[in-house]
Amino acid sequence: MGHALGVDIGGTGIKAAIVDTDTGELVSERIKLPTPSGGEPNDIVATVVTLVEKLGGLGEGVPVGVCFPAIVRNGRTMSAANVSKKWIGLEAEALFEKALGRDIHFVNDADAAGYAEVRYGAAKDVTGLVLLTTLGTGIGSALIYNGVLIPNSELGHLIVDGRDAEKRASYAAKERSRLSWKSWAKRLQKYYGHLEMLFSPDLFVVGGGVSKSYQEFLPLLSLSTPIVPAVHRNNAGILGAAALAALPR
């Protein structure tokens, strides 16, 4: 039975747990600490080390997966839409590896969440193209084709009606502008309609905390692609990061 440790770094909180990567179940408690204000690299790394210690440290040979809200190329963070700009261009994976004394698998947060839904959730056994979006502070996206992740799709930054899509259609945008479900759904309709035209996916999965209220907005959308809520929501990043870390390389 394979166990791996997953860490999910977000703009407001950092969460970690140990995962049974065969079943996708948590085998430890899930612990969470607030993201240090400013979201600076050294502070975030220190918080991750604390979380790992709180989980009892790293067992011999246990893979570690860490997900982060930025483009991740060869271990380097290449963007910083909702975290400190100091992450841009940083050898982030190496920084975590040094602090933890262990190789890690480092991945974009939405990619991890999408992979979790394909392995253990709403898109399990779905063939073809699955497109997951997380509706939170920003919009994250994951493209998974026949179980294989195509990383760093960044479809939250599509320009729709001349604006960065996440600025109009994320859950934060709904909160900021105090939009009703109906007004927000109009923006989501444009966004998902555009994605559908570009990608012809077989399934849309909608993640992020707001997906627990999916009945308020998914029925208002008119798309030809099936669209379903994510199953894992708060744990998806942890599960996906752990599962990706446990893949044979």
Distance of closest approach, residue 183 Cβ to ligand BGC, in angstroms: 22
The reply on whether position 110 binds ligand BGC by CB under 6 A is yes
- What span, in angstroms and rounded, lies between the C-alpha atoms of 94 and 84? 18
Whether 144 and 182 have beta carbons less than 8 Å apart is answered as no
* Contact call for residue 82 and ligand BGC (CB under 6 A): yes
- Helix locations, the chain, DSSP H: 41-54, 92-100, 109-120, 165-169, 171-176, 181-199, 214-217, 236-246
Is residue 134 part of the contact set for ligand BGC (CB under 6 A)?
Answer: yes
Kindly tell me which of 68 and 184 has the beta carbon lying closer to ligand BGC: 68
Q: Give CA–CA dist 11/83, Å, rounded.
A: 6
Closer of 24 and 156 to ligand BGC (Cβ): 156
SS3 label, residue 97: helix
CA pair distance 52, 103, nearest whole angstrom:
14
Q: Does 108 bind ligand BGC (CB under 6 A)?
A: yes
Among 6, 63, 114, 138, binds ligand BGC (CB under 6 A): 138
Of 58 and 160, CB closest to ligand BGC? 160
Return the number of the residue (6 or 138) whose C-beta is nearest ligand BGC. 138
Residues of this chain that interact with ligand BGC (CB under 6 A) are: 69-71, 79, 81-82, 108-110, 134, 138, 140, 154, 156, 166
